[in-house]
Amino acid sequence: MGDALQRTALYDLHIDLGARMVPFAGYEMPVQYPDGVLKEHLHTRAQAGLFDVSHMGQVVLRGDGVAAALESLVPVDIAGLAEGRQRYALFTNDDGGIEDDLMVANRGDHLFVVVNAACKEPDVARMRAALEPLGITVKLLESRALLALQGPAAEAVLAEHHPGVRDMRFMDVETLPLAGAECWVSRSGYTGEDGFEISVPQAAAVALARALLADGRVAPIGLGARDSLRLEAGLCLYGHDIDAATTPVSAGLGWAIQKVRRSGGDRAGGFPGAAKILGEFSDPPAMRRVGLRPEGRAPMREGTALFDAETGGTAAGRVTSGGFGPSLGAPVAMGYVPAALAEPGTRLWGEVRGKRLAVSVASLPFVPAGFKR
Amino acid sequence: MKYTEEHEWLDVDDEGIVTVGITAYAAEQLGDVVFVELPEVGKTVSKDDEIVVIESVKAASDILAPLDGEIVDVNEPLADEPGKVNDDPEGEAWFFRIKPDDLSAMDDYMDEAAYKKFIG
């Protein structure tokens, strides 16, 4: 390590709330509060959870032709993204692998991009190298915090601060005053629940967080529950379920590549790895990301080898993230298996501490999404 | 009651059988326990064998045999209700009972005062 860990604007608040802090992507972040991961997870599914996600990178792209310029880096329809809308996107590499996943919002006179904390520096470097020669400015925002309010009560809670949030649909973005500050609000998140992500000036972040936590329906939630929530929702974690060696179609993220960017589309290709990635729609890749339901109670963690037989054979695939799903009261996992074994219901065996334990391929998500479309 | 540096508590009864669990301190550190794998009754174990697996929401950890001996009983209900490890670690949520080959090996372990000092 060596480098000092950074702290978000909410660090002192986390300590006040009794958080257990851990190093995460260069930051000291709350992994859990005194309630613990299980209760935090269930609270988010039942009411609302407040997450500090300020470690993620917030980037503003500005300049003429910015949408077309960003399309040179992502296989996603950015030019067709309406003002006030947000979309999931992927940075790809020349081999068709995924360099990061991100959110792109059209905020009228600029694009607002949110990237993973661990990928912040390479992502900014990638965008600067590709976009600055085209006259686009790439600005990593250092003075804004990012909060996520997630769960079925999120709308009612946030509406008490600004009623306008009730009119937002899933993936809408708006500028709204909250806690007296100009906030950039999107109706999105990464828990499978309805909810909002709120980019707030650092100076107002604690006031906004405290105002939200003052509502009896809101509890602070750490990274531990964030991970189990996104796993139950079947959402990929960068560096685990997707990385530079996995392709979008293999990862089950083909839906993120709109028709206009696919072969035959008006703006087909033109992004790194296009030939490989677009080719996989007609010539599917050997491995697929699937959901996995271990039949016993033992969790199957990341790295667990998957076999197509109870004894013998060679490893058919592996778990890329796994643990306990509190909403299901059972272990859940995701991983990659050969296409022939990817059908839901297929029985496989995961090797846990030298023993082969039965596991079934399952449809994703494990818990239905609560998005307001 | 005796304590190990691995945060196990050992409670010896009149017949020289030792009941083993983990301390409240250890349960707190582990976080929510979601799976417990117990040894088989009748199994002969050596000190430091990994004989119980505890999975919390965060990670898997082992409980080591604190003594050479034979496993004479295990707390079967724990397998179905692993959350008891968090609710009552020093009571209902014992893991196994062991009949040690040499009960005097218990002398190597800490008493309550020493353990309290150990965890600070």
Q: What is the pLDDT of residues A130-175, one digit of tens each?
A: 999 999 999 999 999 999 999 999 999 999 999 999 999 999 999 9
Q: Which of A69-78, A217-226, A247-256, B55-64 has the lowest mean pLDDT?
A: B55-64
SS3 content of chain B, % helix, strand, coil (to 5): 25, 35, 40
Chain B nearest-CA residue for A297: B35
- Quick one: average pLDDT of B49-74? 95
CB distance A37–B57 less than 8 Å? yes
Inter-chain contacts counted by CB atoms under 8 A, chains A and B = 41
The residue with tokens 């629940």 is A193
Mutate to test the interface with B, among A297, A300, A319, A353 (most CBs of B within 10 A): A297
Per-residue pLDDT tens for A107-135? Answer: 999 999 999 999 999 999 999 999 999 99
> What band does A2 get if pLDDT is binned at 50, 70 and 90?
low
Q: Torsion over CA of A55, A234, A358 and A304, rounded to 10 degrees?
A: -30
Closest CB to A324 among B37, B53, B57: B57
Q: Which residues pair with A338 in a beta bridge?
A: A287
The stretches of chain A forming alpha helices (DSSP H) are 11-16, 37-46, 66-70, 120-131, 154-159, 202-213, 223-232, 274-282
CB-based contact, A228 to chain B, within 8 Å = yes
pLDDT of res. A373: 85
CB-based contact, B38 to chain A, within 8 Å = no
Closest CB to B55 among A31, A37, A299: A299
Per-residue pLDDT tens for A226-244? Answer: 999 999 999 999 999 999 9
Mutate to test the interface with A, among B29, B34, B63 (most CBs of A within 10 A): B34
- Quick one: average pLDDT of B56-65? 92
The amino acid at A253: L
- Quick one: average pLDDT of B44-59? 95
Q: Rounded to whole angstroms, how far apart are CA atoms A267 and A274?
A: 12
Count CB atoms within 10 A of the CB of residue A201. Answer: 18
Q: Rounded to whole angstroms, how far apart are CA atoms A152 and A165?
A: 14
Q: Rounded to whole angstroms, how far apart are CA atoms A165 and A175?
A: 10
- Quick one: average pLDDT of B50-73? 95
Determine the distance in angstroms separating the CA of B48 from the nearest CA of chain A, rounded to an integer: 17
List of chain A residues whose C-beta atoms are within 8 Å of the C-beta of residue B79: 297
CB distance B58–A36 less than 8 Å? no
Per-residue pLDDT tens for A309-365? Answer: 999 988 999 999 999 999 999 999 999 999 999 999 999 999 999 999 999 999 999
- Provide DSSP, A13-41: HHHHTTPEEEEETTEEEEEE-TT-HHHHH
Closest CA to A138 of A124, A117, A155: A124
- Indicate the DSSP class of residue A265: S
pLDDT of res. A79: 98
Structural contact between residues A88 and A248, judged by C-beta atoms closer than 8 angstroms: no
pLDDT of res. B59: 86
Structural contact between residues A74 and A89, judged by C-beta atoms closer than 8 angstroms: yes
Structural contact between residues A58 and A42, judged by C-beta atoms closer than 8 angstroms: no
Residues 6+ apart with CB under 8 A from A180: A204, A207
- Provide DSSP, A49-105: EEEE-TTSEEEEEESTTHHHHHTTT-SS--TT--TTBEEEEEEE-TTS-EEEEEEEE
Whether residue A1 is predicted with pLDDT greater than 60 in this model: the reply is: no
- Quick one: average pLDDT of A171-193? 97
Closest CA to A334 of A358, A305, A302: A302
List of chain B residues whose C-beta atoms are within 8 Å of the C-beta of residue A326: 57
